[in-house]
A and B are shown apart, each in its own frame.
With several copies, the nearest count.
Chain A
Amino acid sequence: MTPHLSITDQPIDVAAALAAVQTETAGAVNSFIGTVRNQSGGRPVRRLHYESYDSMALTQLGHVVAQAYEKWPMLQEVAVVHRKGTLALGDVAVVVAVATPHRAESFAACQYIIDTLKQVVTIWKREEYEDGTEWVAAHP
């Protein structure tokens, strides 16, 4: 039940993340995969760059997952892998996978983890457009 949490500059192996959470005791696996979209707020995106404060990101991710285990005591396995560095369109930026004995909790726990990750985990995204770049969410 130790969660598999990592931040990597290599392409994410989605199948490995899913396999990491599958067990014979948990019949429900929900996963969220975030990929690089070709536009953001109507503006064409060429590629992305993620920067991470790894030690804090992993600490905060650990807190998020611990909160999920508290909220859903039936939660069994969790894997979260976040990519950093330069990503092309369509590349996988993040995978969250959770396994629970029952279905509804797998959706709820996975959604809680990705939603909370986006609020507290110290990773920053710079979008590159045809005519410039922008740190996402930096300004009001």
Chain B
Amino acid sequence: MSLKIALFGITREIVGTSVIELPAPAPATVGALLDELRKQYPALGELRSCAVAVNNEYASNDQALHTVDAIALIPPVAGG
């Protein structure tokens, strides 16, 4: 199983692309995905925060991930 992750703002710049595809971590949870991404891209760990969104909603670390989910990394927002 693989996951596609959409990237925005500074996370897009850190990773260098607007979408990455990764093998699902084990377990396939938000927390495990964040751990994996921080290992591959240490600069993500320097952000003030980095949330994961699943299907347009903020997700908790223990939320399970599926191939069909719209997954995105959400660095600190700054609208307004």
Contact = CB atoms under 8 A, between A and B. Distances in A.
A120 B80 CA distance: 11
Contacts, number: 81
Q: Looking at chain A, what size class is its interface with the partner chain?
A: 20 to 34
Interface residues of B, number: 21
B41 to A, nearest CB: 14
Interface of A: 34, 50-53, 55-57, 59-60, 82, 93-94, 103, 114, 117-126, 135-140
Contact of A139 (B6, B47, B70, B80): B47
Interface stretch (B19-27, B28-36, B50-58, B61-69): B50-58
A123 B47 contact: no
A100 to B, nearest CB: 14
27 contacts: A34-B80, A51-B8, A51-B9, A52-B79, A53-B6, A53-B53, A56-B56, A56-B72, A60-B56, A82-B79, A93-B80, A94-B79, A94-B80, A117-B80, A118-B78, A119-B77, A120-B77, A121-B79, A122-B8, A122-B74, A123-B78, A124-B8, A125-B78, A135-B78, A137-B76, A137-B77, A139-B47
Contact of B77 (A34, A94, A118, A139): A118
Interface of B: 6, 8-10, 13, 46-48, 53, 56-58, 70, 72, 74-80
